[in-house]
A and B are shown apart, each in its own frame.
Chain A
């Protein structure tokens, strides 16, 4: 455990001194800011029933596709290609501590980026006080639900990135692998849901399975305040599995 904290501290320090982190953060925040603005503009023209916050978080997958690979591709693949993973392995550190610290570092940064987006409604409120009068911008319940969703789904997304990074020594391959896997997990689940709806004659258990894997459905539930244990179990178990596999991979590929 002591090693985990030493490594995590090192990991966070490295994240905060490396320029790619800031580039990823600037890209993320400017893209999300633009999207938030676009949502608000859309709402001015055509009134909508859903809250801007809910609409904003329903496009969570756009930044996930590029931020997660950018944050995680370097973590193990980069260390392996320059050889510092070897030097790390010669210290009395366990493999589990190495993987967990990489995971925790990337996860904390990922969450920090999302937390920064809370600034958007506040800025809007400051600039256009009359628009915020209805209280629609900063309604606490959907905001909390969405953040809970981001925090739990983030476990899976970051562990996909860490696992992709652990199987190769090329950062490019790691990045592509995590992008593709994220795409399959996020969009694939949605497509399966569409198929199930279209065919309509699936048995009950098949529908249950498909719903279990549907990340968008989870977000819908969370932002409406339905906190189900099944998504928690889904994200926690898959990320646990992926991190376990990553530990085995670095053990075997030393």
Chain B
């Protein structure tokens, strides 16, 4: 049986005058998935999210939320979405509980369920004990973000969209929000955008990288690693002649290239090595590099490229592609 995807976006394009904010964006998000939206500033993340939540209309293309078309039935879509906008705007002179009750009423939560819904959202976001009766204007940034997330959770929406939920938070608060997102996994479909890449990597099932209005990569971080930074990477510290390392490896049939070479004190260097061969290469490498006369191996560690490197590689590639596709001016 085929399930309806929570979100389906097809050829979505939005132009602001001459500027194309997003161009033919396509993606699908399945129910219960947590998807991270990555991209540099001005890449079109917020635009896509705003179109999905029905605040803004697209120039062309279509988007469906829970099987409902956003352009044709925005009211229905708004019932299915909990949206937390960028910078999380909140009215400063209301109390947390008052604000959440007001929002719950607007989101058509039935009167008899109002108290329990608000209470539940506050408990999930850890607001119930500490900040319940506080005035929003006096709250710290972390608590404000929680109020924004609690608001997005009200009314049990199918899809929760959060635009930069962790911006400006300290590491403790970020960890709190991460736990919160973990709790939502499976129950809601979550889309979040962020600049903090390790955050996305830890909390998201899948990542969509967007650059200059185009999707440049999509998949789990392992898939992206395979696509953008293939091969095995190792980080090692050697003393002696580091140029002998590659020759030595070549003799053993291991094709390698040195990506980075940072000198560390006298006669010692930290190398980042990339091996073309696949499979478990650690033991082979240790064997090849020990008992060598030209150099001494001090340490060896396998290095998994993090999302930051993948992100840089993906966005760099998309830059190069757009430059190449531009018409060349002949002399």
Interface residues of A: mostly helix, strand, loop or mixed?
helix
Please tell me which one of the listed residues A3, A87, A91, A254 contacts residue B89 in the complex, with CB atoms under 8 A apart. Answer: A87
Does A139 lie at the interface of the complex (its beta carbon under 8 Å from any beta carbon of B)? no
A57 to B79, CA, bound (A): 48
On chain A, the residues within 8 Å of B170 by CB distance are: none
A86 to B91, CA, bound (A): 12
Please tell me which one of the listed residues A3, A18, A87 contacts residue B151 in the complex, with CB atoms under 8 A apart. Answer: A87
Q: How far apart are B49's CB and chain A's nearest CB, in angstroms?
A: 10
Given contacts A3-B106, A6-B105, A6-B106, whether A90 and B89 have CB atoms under 8 Å apart is: no
A2 to B81, CA, bound (A): 20
In the complex the two chains form, is B55's CB within 8 Å of A90's CB? Answer: yes
Closest residue of chain A to B95 (Cβ to Cβ) is A17
In the complex the two chains form, is A10's CB within 8 Å of B102's CB? Answer: yes
Does A135 lie at the interface of the complex (its beta carbon under 8 Å from any beta carbon of B)? no
Does B178 lie at the interface of the complex (its beta carbon under 8 Å from any beta carbon of A)? no
Closest residue of chain A to B161 (Cβ to Cβ) is A90
In the complex the two chains form, is B75's CB within 8 Å of A90's CB? Answer: no
Interface string of B66-107 (1 = CB under 8 A from A): 000000000100110101010101110110000000110111
A7 to B107, CA, bound (A): 12
On chain B, the residues within 8 Å of A90 by CB distance are: 53-55, 78, 81, 83, 85
Q: Which of B105-152 contact A (CB under 8 A)?
A: 105-108, 151
The count of residues in chain A whose C-beta lies closer than 8 Å to any C-beta of chain B is 21
In the complex the two chains form, is A254's CB within 8 Å of B93's CB? Answer: no
Q: How far apart are A248's CB and chain B's nearest CB, in angstroms?
A: 14
On chain A, the residues within 8 Å of B151 by CB distance are: 87
In the complex the two chains form, is B85's CB within 8 Å of A86's CB? Answer: yes
In the complex the two chains form, is A17's CB within 8 Å of B93's CB? Answer: yes
On chain A, the residues within 8 Å of B81 by CB distance are: 90
On chain B, the residues within 8 Å of A14 by CB distance are: 91, 93-94
Please tell me which one of the listed residues B75, B85, B93, B94 contacts residue A92 in the complex, with CB atoms under 8 A apart. Answer: B75
Interface residues of B: mostly helix, strand, loop or mixed?
loop
Does A43 lie at the interface of the complex (its beta carbon under 8 Å from any beta carbon of B)? no
In the complex the two chains form, is B55's CB within 8 Å of A86's CB? Answer: yes
Q: How far apart are B152's CB and chain A's nearest CB, in angstroms?
A: 9
On chain A, the residues within 8 Å of B107 by CB distance are: 91-92
On chain A, the residues within 8 Å of B54 by CB distance are: 89-90
Please tell me which one of the listed residues A3, A94, A254 contacts residue B55 in the complex, with CB atoms under 8 A apart. Answer: A254
Q: Which of A83-100 contact B (CB under 8 A)?
A: 83-84, 86-94
Given contacts A6-B105, A91-B103, whether A84 and B90 have CB atoms under 8 Å apart is: yes
A selection of 24 A-B contacts at a CB cut-off of 8 Å is A2-B108, A3-B106, A6-B106, A14-B94, A18-B93, A82-B89, A83-B87, A84-B89, A86-B55, A86-B89, A87-B83, A87-B85, A87-B89, A87-B103, A87-B151, A88-B106, A90-B53, A90-B55, A90-B85, A91-B78, A91-B107, A92-B78, A92-B79, A254-B56
11 additional A-B pairs beyond A87-B103, A89-B54, A92-B108, beta carbons within 8 Å, are A2-B108, A6-B102, A6-B105, A14-B94, A18-B93, A86-B55, A87-B83, A91-B103, A92-B107, A93-B106, A94-B75
- The chain B residues found within 8 Å of chain A, CB to CB, are 53-56, 75, 78-79, 81, 83, 85, 87, 89-91, 93-94, 102-103, 105-108, 151
- The chain A residues found within 8 Å of chain B, CB to CB, are 2-3, 6-7, 10, 14, 17-18, 82-84, 86-94, 254
Q: Which 5 A-B pairs have the closest CB atoms?
A: A83-B89, A91-B106, A90-B83, A92-B78, A6-B105
